[in-house]
Amino acid sequence: MPTEPVPWARVLVLMVVALLAAHLLDGLAWQHVRDPRVNDREWGRLLRSVGYVPTWIFGAWALWRVGKPAPGEPPNGLGWRAATLLLAPALSGGIAELVKLVVRRQRPGAESAEYLFRPYNVDLWSTKGLGLASSHTAVAFGAAFVLARCFPATRWVWYTLAAGCALTRVMAGAHYVSDTVAAAVLAWLTTEVVWRWAAKRKRRVSANGDSPLAVL
């Protein structure tokens, strides 16, 4: 599981630009993109399921089974990738929920695209009705970023599915565009941490000859 240096200055600039652009698009998307019936359509349900954590629990299980070496064969590294596919989407979605509790920006209204914020003295520990960041989108991009690293030739398949999940959340009126872009940023940062953690653990196992399960 190779890890490469990250050009953090460039990455952070791109993230800030993306977030600013997304906020500029929020009003336009609210006016022209919404389709309240998107989740009633089969393709809409498909794309939304990409942001469902159990989808990637099964995906990680499948990846682990494929990567499980036969007796006498060396490990191929897919077991570690399966661990990241399990952790990155789940952690990304969980962090998005925590961000909702801190930022407290409400979901788009039915009559206006105006940003509204819930006071801290109202439902302090409830994320119901809060939108920034979109946890479905965070889960979808957490999985997409892992799979893009595992199988670079297929990366645009996973990015398309994750972006489609984000689109359905905006079309449903459940999120602003900026909610989904913020979620993608959170997912990238989370995946970067998880991937580097897994790579470090893998190197330790290889050096010590320990069982991977003992380290995980």
Domains of the chain are 8-215 (1.20.144)
pLDDT range class, residue 208, cuts 50, 70, 90: low
Phi and psi at residue 141, to the nearest 5°: -75, -30
CB 116 within 8 A of CB 110: no
Distance CA 129, CA 212 (A): 41
pLDDT at 74: 62
pTM for the full predicted model? 0.92
Query: Residue 72 — pLDDT band, cuts 50, 70, 90?
Result: low
b/e map 33-51, b = 16+ CB within 10 Å: ebeeebeeeeebeebbebb
Confidence grade of residue 75 (pLDDT, cut at 50, 70, 90): low
Question: Smallest Cα–Cα separation from 174: which of 112, 114, 106, 97?
Answer: 106
Distance CA 84, CA 80 (A): 7
DSSP assignment string, 118-147: --TTSSTT--TTB-SS-HHHHHHHHHHHHH
Q: Distance (Å, rounded) from C-alpha 123 to C-alpha 194?
A: 31
Spatial CB neighbours of 184, under 8 Å, sequence gap ≥ 6: 18, 137, 138, 141, 162, 166
Task: Give pLDDT, residue 117.
Answer: 98
Would you state the pLDDT for residue 7? 92
pLDDT tens-digit readout, 1-13: 667 789 999 999 9
